[in-house]
């Protein structure tokens, strides 16, 4: 598995960015997440893998409180970002989401120009003092999103006119334009073709230099390629969490092994 | 392999088996039904439009008499000093003989033979409004007195009806004002170019008239009444409806209270409009003491009626905005309100506008609620007084005016009612076209 890795990066991976303790999620009567404890490290790509319906996306959405928008969803336990409980009453979810950005399964650019797609976040958070500042942020974000060269000549054409892979990279650029600390990605490549997938994976690996990245994926190859840490979810439980290499070569739990070898899932 | 395909004889592909034949026949039958249904619908539409146009187009033409009238100083200004007060003392009765004499002179001049030997006999040719028209002109410009001025005077409804084929020699036999001799005279005068049909602007811009003067009646004032009602509806129903829908759709928690509200909004859309009328009577007129027959009351009642339509269509168009757009905005750290106002609402706008215009069009054609607040039956003879007068002065509305005309006994009003329907339909059609254009224009893909 080691040779499938993209590049090695010399970053400090020891800081814990998000720490979840005893997290339980209920959807109405369904117990979707059962007592999950996990420490997500900074400057690391952490992959959540597991069969469909195992709760990995649900848990991901707890990390920036996107589940708040669902009426019947109840979250208990403690999730701390840099030591601060994000479910504390004093926390405004809007502020939290500026720090913990999110990229979704289906590319969802706003039906506006490419420029406005990127500029929207900085505008509402007041990150740019003037037009030149904003132009800088847009260019920087598009460069970090590895899409600048493709769109620099048509910044004012609609973002929805791009191809699927370009749209997804645009969405990633949009998410990093607000300078988040953590980037959550919910199956970001599931709607993309293999070439676009590769481009996005390379991008994810580069993003690790600046952010803590959490990615939910159905593809075990993808998890092996891009992540340093892997968490395996099954039926709402976090079964195993460890270094990606260890999970894929020497899983401790029987269920993990069965899933990786294709016997469950 | 399923059982059925096992049973089919393994014949040529060119030969249809029994099942396929049956299936194809069923499909063909269904298509025929569909075509028949559409054809029936179109047929009724064509019948409706032809009957409206054939009965109503006549109202846009009116018969006028062009005649030089000598404005006799001895009759109109006895003192001869052009004192406006003296001139005003002469009532329309003073003008009638002058007009009758003028027509009589013009008949003699043309050398037309007629058994109607007296100037007074010309009365039946004239609209009762003719004398008032002359008097208004003279009061506006007293210098006309003593001169011979050519006027374009409305002909009577009978003359107008004769030229349009509504009045015949048989029907005129039962008429005590007009007789066959008059109709002969009209024929001659028409040939001489004195009596002429021309386009009737007064029908579009004018006011309603009394029952005995159908030739003078127009839609103008009631159109203004409808316009002010629509203003009220637009400026109340649109913001209230859109705000309510946004709250219910985007912010309100899902519980039994919101369910109850939702069900009741749907119920409200199905409430008969006359119920809204009696509600308006009780609340706005009897309780709040707003003036009767006023467009503001009509507008308020129609607002109540339009609200459910706007709320339902707005909610539908908000629902149609994909949730991924909301997620995208929230994921960047936009607040709920920012995500709604920056992203969801602009995308829902074409749907909201379409719903609003359709709601307005519905309100424009609504008659029943106006019955109970006194807008039906009010004879709208005067233009309202200024902008606020437009809301507060008693007025009628287009559908109410049509209903009013249709009730009147004179067959000349029948034609006017159809003509009014044409005007109303033109308005509705325009609004619907605007709705379609707006939807096309602002529709965006995601």
Residues A213-222: pLDDT tens digits?
999 998 888 9
Q: Which of A94, A108, A178 has the CB atom closest to B328's CB atom?
A: A108
Q: What phi, psi does B333 have (nearest 5°)? A: 105, 20
CATH 1.10.3720.10 maps onto chain B at 220-442
Lowest mean pLDDT across A109-118, B132-141, B336-345 = B132-141
Check CB contact under 8 Å for B327 and A108: yes
Q: Are B100 and B126 in contact (CB under 8 A)?
A: yes
The superfamily CATH assigns to domain B220-442 is: MetI-like (1.10.3720.10)
CATH code, residues A15-109+163-260:
3.40.50.300
Task: Check residue B9 and give its pLDDT.
Answer: 55
Q: Does the beta-carbon distance from A69 to B326 stay under 8 Å?
A: yes
C-alpha angle B298/B235/B338, rounded to 5°? Answer: 150
A251–chain B Cβ distance below 8 A for any pair = no
Chain B residue numbers with beta carbons less than 8 Å from the beta carbon of A174 are 328, 332
ipTM metric: 0.85
Tens of pLDDT, residues A66-100: 888 888 888 999 999 998 999 988 999 888 998 99
Which residues of chain B make contact with A104, given a CB cutoff of 8 A? 324, 327-328, 331
The pLDDT value recorded for residue A9 is 66
3-state secondary structure chain B: CCHHHHHCCCCCCCCCCHHHHHHHHHHHHHHHHHHHHHHHHHHHHHHHHHHHHHHHHHHHEEEEEEEEEECCHHHHCCCCCCCHHHHHHCCHHHHHHHHHHHHHHHHHHCCCCCCCCCHHHHHHHECCCHHHHHHHHHHHCHHHCCCEEEEEEEECHHHHHHHHCCCCHHHHCCCCCCCHHHHHHHHHHHHHCCEEEEECHHHHHCCCCCCCCHHHCCCHHHHHHHHHHHHHHHHHHHHHHHHHHHHHHHHCCCCHHHHHHHHHHHHHHCCCHHHHHHHHHHHHHHHCCCCCCCHHHHHHHHHHHHHHHHHHHHHHHHHCCCHHHHHHHHHHCCCHHHHHHHHHHHHHHHHHHHHHHHHHHHHHCCCHHHHHCCCCCCCCCCCCCHHHHHHHCCCCCHHHHHHHHHHCCCHHHHHHHHHHHHHHHHHHHHHHHHHHHHHHHHCCCC
| pLDDT value of position A215 | 94
Q: Report the pLDDT averaged over residues B340-359.
A: 91
Confidence of residue B337 (pLDDT cuts 50, 70, 90): very high
Interface subset of A 82-141, CB within 8 angstroms of B: 94-99, 101-104, 106, 108-111, 120-121, 124-125
In tens, the pLDDT along B264-285 reads 999 998 899 999 999 999 999 9
Task: Answer whether A98 sits within 8 Å of B342, measured CB to CB.
Answer: no
Q: How far apart are CA B265 and CA B274, in angstroms?
A: 17
| pLDDT per residue as tens digits for the range B137-150 | 888 888 888 888 88
Nearest residue in chain B measured CA to CA from A106:
B324
Q: Domain ranges in chain A?
A: 15-109+163-260
Rounded Cα distance, B269 and B311, in Å: 10
Residue linked to tokens 């946004």: B246
Q: State residue B105's pLDDT score.
A: 87
Q: How many CB atoms are closer than 10 A to CB A221?
A: 13
C-beta atoms surrounding B146 within 10 Å? 15
Of A97, A111, A178, the CB nearest to B330: A97
Q: Contact A108/B333, CB-based, under 8 Å? A: no
Residue A245 and residue A229 in contact, taking contact as beta carbons nearer than 8 Å:
no
Question: Mean pLDDT, to the nearest integer, of B428-435?
Answer: 91
CA proximity to B399, closest of B265, B277, B309: B277
pLDDT for A3 equals: 46
Residue B14 confidence (pLDDT) above 90? no
Task: Say whether B253 and A97 touch across the interface (CB within 8 A).
Answer: no
- Residue range B25-36: mean pLDDT, rounded: 96
Which pLDDT belongs to residue B276? 92
Other beta carbons within 10 Å of B387: 9
Q: Which residue is closest to A124 within chain B, CA to CA?
A: B334
Q: Considering only the beta carbons, identify the residue of B254, B329, B338 that sits closest to A71.
A: B254
| pLDDT score of B375 more than 90 | no
Give the minimum alpha-carbon distance from A257 to chain B in angstroms, rounded to a whole number.
Answer: 34
CB contact under 8 A, A121 and B333: yes
Torsion, Cα B418 B424 B425 B426, to 10 degrees, reads 110
Whether the predicted pLDDT of A109 surpasses 80:
yes
First to last CA, chain A: 21
| pLDDT of A231 over the 70 cut | yes
What's the pLDDT at B40? Answer: 97
C-alpha–C-alpha distance, residues B171 and B153, integer Å: 24
Render pLDDT for A2-12 as a digit per residue (tens, 0 to 9): 445 555 666 67
**CB-based contact A231:A62 (threshold 8 Å):** no
Average pLDDT, chain B: 88
Structure tokens at B402: 């049509």
Q: Which of A97, A124, A160 sits opposite B331 (nearest CB)?
A: A97
Q: Say if residues A151 and A166 touch (Cβ distance below 8 Å).
A: yes
SS3 of A113-161: the string is EHHHHHHHHHHHHCCCCCHHHHHHHHHHHHHHCCCHHHHCCCCCCEHHH
Q: State pLDDT tens for residues B114-137.
A: 888 788 888 888 888 888 888 888
Average pLDDT rounded to a whole number, residues A193-200? 86
């Amino acid at each position: 598995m080691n040779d499938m890795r993209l590049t090695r990066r010399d970053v400090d991976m020891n800081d814990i960015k998000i720490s979840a303790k005893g997290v339980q999620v209920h959807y109405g009567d369904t117990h979707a997440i059962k007592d999950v404890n996990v420490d997500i490290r900074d400057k690391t790509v952490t992959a959540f893998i597991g069969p469909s319906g195992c709760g990995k996306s649900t848990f991901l959405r707890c990390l920036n409180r996107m589940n708040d928008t669902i009426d019947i969803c109840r979250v208990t336990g403690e999730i701390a970002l840099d030591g601060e409980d994000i479910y504390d009453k004093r926390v405004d979810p809007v502020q939290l989401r500026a720090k913990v950005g999110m990229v979704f399964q289906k590319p969802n650019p706003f039906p506006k120009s490419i420029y406005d797609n990127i500029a929207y976040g900085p505008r509402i958070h007041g990150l740019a003092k003037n037009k030149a500042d904003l132009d800088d942020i847009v260019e920087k974000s598009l460069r970090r999103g590895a899409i600048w060269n493709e769109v620099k000549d048509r910044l004012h054409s609609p973002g929805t006119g791009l191809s699927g892979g370009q749209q997804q990279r645009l969405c990633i650029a949009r998410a990093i334009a607000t300078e988040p600390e953590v980037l959550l990605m919910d199956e970001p490549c599931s709607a993309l073709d293999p070439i676009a997938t590769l481009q996005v994976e390379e991008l994810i690996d580069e993003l690790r230099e600046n952010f803590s990245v959490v990615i939910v994926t159905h593809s075990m190859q993808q998890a092996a390629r891009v992540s340093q840490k892997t968490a395996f979810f099954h039926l709402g439980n976090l079964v195993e969490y460890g270094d990606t290499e260890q999970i894929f070569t020497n899983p401790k739990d029987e269920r993990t092994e069965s899933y990786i070898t294709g016997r469950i899932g | 392999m399923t059982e059925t395909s096992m049973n089919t004889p393994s014949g040529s592909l060119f030969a249809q088996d029994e099942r396929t034949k049956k299936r194809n026949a069923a499909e063909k039958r269904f298509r025929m039904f569909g075509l028949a249904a559409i054809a029936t619908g179109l047929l009724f539409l064509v019948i409706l439009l032809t009957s409206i146009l054939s009965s109503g187009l006549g109202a846009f033409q009116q018969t006028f008499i062009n005649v030089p009238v000598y404005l006799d100083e001895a009759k109109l200004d006895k003192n001869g000093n052009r004192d406006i007060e003296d001139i005003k003392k002469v009532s329309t009765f003073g003008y009638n003989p002058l007009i009758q004499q003028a027509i009589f002179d013009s008949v003699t001049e043309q050398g037309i033979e007629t058994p109607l030997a007296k100037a007074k006999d010309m009365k039946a040719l004239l609209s009762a409004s003719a004398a008032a028209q002359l008097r208004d002109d003279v009061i506006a410009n007293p210098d006309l007195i003593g001169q011979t001025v050519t006027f374009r005077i409305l002909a009577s409804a009978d003359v107008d009806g004769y030229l349009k084929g509504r009045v015949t020699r048989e029907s005129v036999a039962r008429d005590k004002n007009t007789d066959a001799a008059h109709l002969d005279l009209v024929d001659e005068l028409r040939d001489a170019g004195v009596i002429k049909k021309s386009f009737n602007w007064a029908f579009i811009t004018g006011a309603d008239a009394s029952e005995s003067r159908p030739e003078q009646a127009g839609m103008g004032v009631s159109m203004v009444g409808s316009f002010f009602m629509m203003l009220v509806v637009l400026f109340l129903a649109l913001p209230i409806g859109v705000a309510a829908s946004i709250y219910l759709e985007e912010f309100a928690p899902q519980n039994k209270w919101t369910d109850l509200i939702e069900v009741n909004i749907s119920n409200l859309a199905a409430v008969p409009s006359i119920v809204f009328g009696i509600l308006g009577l009780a609340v706005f007129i009897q309780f709040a003491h707003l003036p009767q027959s006023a467009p503001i009351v009509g507008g308020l009642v129609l607002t109540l009626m339009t609200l459910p339509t706007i709320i339902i269509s707005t909610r539908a168009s908000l629902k149609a905005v994909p949730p991924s757009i909301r997620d995208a905005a929230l994921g960047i750290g936009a607040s709920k309100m920012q995500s709604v106002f920056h992203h969801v609402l602009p995308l829902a706008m074409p749907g909201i506008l379409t719903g609003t215009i359709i709601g307005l069009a519905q309100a424009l054609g609504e008659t029943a609620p106006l019955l109970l607040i006194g807008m039906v039956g009010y004879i709208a003879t005067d233009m309202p007084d200024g902008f606020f007068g437009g809301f507060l002065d008693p007025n009628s509305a287009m559908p109410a005016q049509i209903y009013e005309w249709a009730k009147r006994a004179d067959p000349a009003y029948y034609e006017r009612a159809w003509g009014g329907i044409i005007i109303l339909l033109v308005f509705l059609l325009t609004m619907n076209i605007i709705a379609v254009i707006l939807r096309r224009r602002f529709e965006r893909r995601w």
